[in-house]
Amino acid sequence: MQYLVLGITILMYGLIIVFSEKKAFIAMAAALIMMALGVVSPQEAFTKMVNWNVLMIFVGSLVIAELFIYSRVPARIADTLIDASPNVGLAIVAILMMTGFISAFVENVATVLVMAPIALALSKKLNMTPKYFMIGLAIMANLQGTATLVGDPPSMIFADYAHYSFNDFFFYQGKPSIFFAVQVGMIVGALYLYFYFIKAGAQKVEIEKEPVKSYVPTILLVLMILGLAAASFLHSGVSLLSGLIVVGLALVGILWYRLVCKESRETTLKMIRELDWDTTLFLIGIFIVVGGVTKVGLLDTFARILQGWIGDNVLLGFLAIVGVSTLISGFVDNVPYIVVMLPVAATLARALNLRPELYMFGLLIGSCLGGNLTPFGASANVVSVGILKKEGVKMGFFDWLSVGLPFTLLTTGATSLFIWLVWK
């Protein structure tokens, strides 16, 4: 049975790499095959392996993100930052840092979509190519998406496995947690981007401020953050209460959009249909497949093999997890990778008498920040390249690498050093 499950899993990974646009169908097909073969029962799969609380938070936050874009508040904030910046370089970096901040609470792709028009307009005004600005948006969004429970699916998966609440991403057992590790990387990354974009010019940019449609979605976003923080005091991990809070606020937002904004029924349904349902189905399939992998003992076997390679060298284990995760995630979807590797990293840490956080944080950082390496390493990157293509701007692999590689090395190195010093 172990060999059968291993074969199904390897085939699934291979097909996801080759046909990434069909990843939801491939993952669900692999899950159905495992259920058909009796590796897991349907009841076990959908009641024990699929975390519906994570999915409620994911879908609910997507709705709130769409409404936040609709409100035009992010555009207004960006315009204010540009107006307050003394030169072009600082204006660009301020927008990129704001993109990162939004992405800590809003899905990465949605963040890039809302900030892209601002980047394109500013690039046109400055008579510069928008390709490097767009790279900056994607890599900053990917970086900060790691910082909180609602920032990105890998963070939600980590929270589910490690029983981390929203607040635990800030402080855990009296120590600064993953949020502050990411902020160290953000500071280093922002400095790098400043010196990269300072050549854009020293003049001040004048821009007309975007009118705001409504502040209601901003209030919903703030309530979501406060609600998740409050739920953290009552329940550890990704609780049912957390999921209900986010879905409840999303439903309020949909009703506001339909009844108060008086958007048509067709427009409202179109917004709901265009949410990222592919990733939702993908997550369901991956939960079931990895549940089957865990059930037959493959992850324990893999952890023992890694332990044999690493021995008692804690630093070698940490560097291997961060380095391999960074490299793999530059080319492979990080969701199935992190679902598989979290139990392995935790088992390996315990075998070496370490806090599991040391290796699990290293895994999370490597698998999320590694996506910044290539133009196809993360969904936000693919969206950025697609937007440029529509604008008639070609993005080459080495164009991306010229910004993404140094940024990834600097931010991953700084973040990993923080984790090592704090959690060793």
Q: What is the pLDDT of residue 412?
A: 96
Give the Cα separation of 215 and 218 in Å (integer): 5
| Per-residue pLDDT at 200 | 60
Residue 209 confidence (pLDDT): 73
Q: Please tell me whether the overall predicted TM-score, pTM, comes out greater than 0.75 for this model.
A: yes
pLDDT, position 201: 57
Q: Look at residue 422 in the predicted model and tell me its pLDDT.
A: 95
pLDDT along the chain (424 residues), means of 10: 86 82 89 92 89 87 87 82 79 89 84 82 80 91 90 88 92 94 95 83 67 91 90 81 92 95 92 87 87 80 77 88 88 78 88 90 92 84 84 85 93 96 92
pLDDT for res 286: 84
Provide the β-strand partners of residue 171: 176
Q: CA 184: distance to chain centroid?
A: 17
How far apart CA 409 and CA 417 sit, in angstroms, is 12
DSSP structure class, residue 211: P
Q: How far is CA 91 from CA 140, 162, 188, 201, 202, in A?
A: 15, 38, 17, 11, 10
Domain ranges of the chain: 2-423
Q: Could you give the angle at the alpha carbon of 145 between the alpha carbons of 185 and 9, nearest 5°?
A: 110
Name residue 208's amino acid. E
Q: What is the pLDDT of residue 15?
A: 87
**Are 394 and 352 a contacting pair, CB within 8 Å?**
no
The span from the CA of 299 to the CA of 46, in Å, is 21
Which of 321, 327, 332, 326 is CA-nearest to residue 357?
321
